[in-house]
Amino acid sequence: MSRSQRREIDRQRAKGHAAVLRYGLAVDDASTALYSLTHLLNSILAKRAVRNRASKAAEALHGVFEASFSRQPDLDAIDCKKGCDYCCHLFVSALAPEIFLISRKIRALPPPERDALIERIGETNSVTKGMTMRQRSAARLPCALLVDSACSLYTARPLPCRGMTSTSAAACKTSFENSGFEDDVPVLPAPLIYRTGATIAMLAALDNNDLDDNSYELIEALNAVLGTEAAEEKWLRGEDVFGSVAVSIPRPTELNERIAEAKYHALAYR
């Protein structure tokens, strides 16, 4: 490959990065944007001199999701509001970069707020540790990050939380009260598509950089990371900072195939 060809490829990659950051992913055909996002995350994670590159990648990931979300036409159909926290009593998993981003935000809080939140995370983990998804929802225990029925770290919330958009708060309330959120709740399909695409891109980028691609139970993982000095740096060096933290269910074959395809496109002109 000539130098001019390499420059043209780099120019096209940069153009793709800018486009996906501005416009996000698409519902109908997300392939081009998905590959651009994968390459963007791959390039962030590959910058070995950046000690917080994992949480930086999570910030970019969330930014693309929000850009996607803001462009969907049926936002008015969403019935979610601040203070409506029925879905904040469920088992939530998150990828390691998202966990490091949240822990970074926690450590940046004013000391009284930070210390109270860290203590609450530890207390919640002592109760929920080892619970299955079904047990967690049936217990109806609030997320440790909730304060006055609102997420105290809303801007850093992980993809599973971002993709939860109910069109009926009444249905959420009924499901929560009757069965611990096991009944069907009407949701918008687009945010779930964006969440899946964003997850695929991050998983592909993690795999390309030989990094842990497990999805961990949020509160148990936060408890582990907050109790480990320089956890993100250690994890980036290949150290296991999560130990016995619960891992989410295995990924289906179809998802693994899409991840492999995204990995290929991201590595094509690495």
Distances from the Cα of 83 to the Cα of 149, 168, 169, 187, angstroms: 5, 14, 11, 18
pLDDT per residue as tens digits for the range 210-230 = 999 999 999 999 999 999 999
* 183-202 mean pLDDT: 91
pLDDT per residue as tens digits for the range 91-148 = 999 999 999 999 999 999 999 999 999 999 999 999 999 998 889 888 989 999 999 9
pLDDT classification of 27: cutoffs 50, 70, 90: confident
User: Angle CA(36)–CA(39)–CA(42) in degrees, nearest 5?
Assistant: 150
Q: Give the pLDDT score at 6.
A: 79
**pTM metric for this prediction:** 0.94
CB 116 within 8 A of CB 204: no
